[in-house]
Amino acid sequence: MKTQGDIVAAARDLAAKAAGAQELMESVVRLLSAERPYYSWTGFYLMEGSDTLVLGPYQGKPSPHTRIPLNQGICGAAASSGSTLIVDNVNADPRYLACSLETRSEIVVPIKRDGKVLGEIDIDSDRPAAFSDDDRRLLERVANIVAARL
Ligand code: SME
């Protein structure tokens, strides 16, 4: 398993090589899914206007939530607050919008540039309380790399 530093370096490499944001997000999804097997669903949502998140590249089961208003879901809450959200038990969180019955925990990391939320990285795990501070730091660093290309 690659360390946080290795993955960040690999993401920087992908950002340097990618032709555009779409290609970069696709390759980052592949990188994170391959290096962190407990990331059961890994994807991007991007802001459309000021009140809706739209599903971007992802790996995992097809999500029924292709468009999420900012006042809904854990995704909406993270984008509204501009801060990373970790939910150790999704079934105990009334905001949770289910994507898969197997999901137990979730992390959502806003992608920000100049203080503005442009989108987010959303990861579900089939393991309860799967996400640590290391995941948070890793994904916030990766979000900054992607932010520069959006
Ligand atoms: N669980 C998210 C919805 C997106 S799916 O997990 C892919 C939420 O509660 O906002």
Tens-digit pLDDT profile for residues 46-90: 999 999 999 999 999 999 999 999 999 999 999 999 999 999 999
Q: Is the CB of 63 under 6 A from ligand 1?
A: yes
Ligand 1 pocket test: pick from 106, 108, 120, 125 the residue with the most ligand atoms within 8 Å of its Cβ: 106
First to last CA, the chain: 28
Cα 66 to averaged position of ligand 1 atoms, centre (Å):
10
**Stretch 104-120: mean pLDDT:** 97
Share of the chain above pLDDT 90, in %: 98
Inter-residue contact 24 to 14 (CB < 8 Å): yes
Tokens for 51, please give them. Answer: 């009140």
Q: Is the CB of 97 under 6 A from ligand 1?
A: yes
Share of the chain above pLDDT 70, in %: 100
Atom of ligand 1 nearest to the CA of 97: 9
- Evaluate if residue 1 carries a pLDDT over 90: no
DSSP, residue by residue, 87-131: ES-GGG-TTPPPS-TT--EEEEEEEEETTEEEEEEEEEESSTT--
| Nearest partner of 103 among 65, 55, 52, 144, judged by Cα | 65
For position 67, what pLDDT does the model report? 98
Q: Is the CB of 120 under 6 A from ligand 1?
A: no
Segment 117-133, tens digit of pLDDT: 999 999 999 999 999 99
